[in-house]
Amino acid sequence: MSTVVALNGVTKEYPGGVRALDGVDLTVGQGELLAIVGPSGSGKSTLLHIVGTLDRPTTGSVAVAGHDIAELSDRKLSALRAQHIGFVFQAFHLVPGISAQDNVAEGLLYSGLPRSERRRLAAAALDRVGLAERTGHRPHELSGGQKQRVAIARALVGEPDLLLADEPTGALDTASGETVMKLLHDLHQDGATIAVITHDTEIAERLPRQVRMRDGQIVADTGSGAL
């Protein structure tokens, strides 16, 4: 199993001496499905930002898809993020007024592909998440669960090494949340590497690996990541 993410001795401090992460070691292997779980203030959102290269650690090392982020300029880090990481957020972040297909194609905006090819790949990604009949629908014409599936398709369309799902069911009713979690399990079965960041222990316990956080530290980890 190859390594997708490797964190060693990572700390993150903010002004005023607030230490959001305190000596975190974490390895995620290719093809894993894991939950990063903890209560509010546990450090899981900061960990999401570090793993997703949206922020840099105060100390320690972070490698994503074999790249040491300390060696990358902000511009190269943005390119790494665009090529290797897909994000799914609780609030969907879809562009209003444009179709589901064009929302998904936005995920390939920096790929260098022509628009026609981006739209073709977007249609295929929507089919993959069960929305082949909704390609022309705009966000206001979709249910919450359908919006989240569009967001997942957008995150996956570039075939990233890692999918980070931040509270993916947080804005959904129970039935829609079940549909989204089943989709994530199906994508994992297809080989996707997925980390779900959640405060919901019930969701976490249904995933093969749980990384539990408290006070900026990993206090339990049911898996060992890549070997």
Could you report the per-residue pLDDT of 183-211, keeping only the tens digit for each?
Answer: 999 999 999 999 999 999 999 999 999 99
Distance CA 76, CA 144 (A): 34
Q: Which residue type, as a one-letter code, is found at position 212?
A: R
- CATH number of the structural domain 3-221: 3.40.50.300
Give residue limits of the domains in the chain. Answer: 3-221
Residue linked to tokens 């969701």: 203
Q: pLDDT at residue 35 above 60?
A: yes
Q: 223: pLDDT confidence band, cut at 50, 70 and 90?
A: confident
Two tokens, residue 62: 């972070």
What is the DSSP track for 31-42? T-EEEEE--TTS
- Rg (C-alpha) for the chain, rounded Å, is 17
Interval 36-57 mean pLDDT: 94
Whether this model's pTM surpasses 0.75: yes
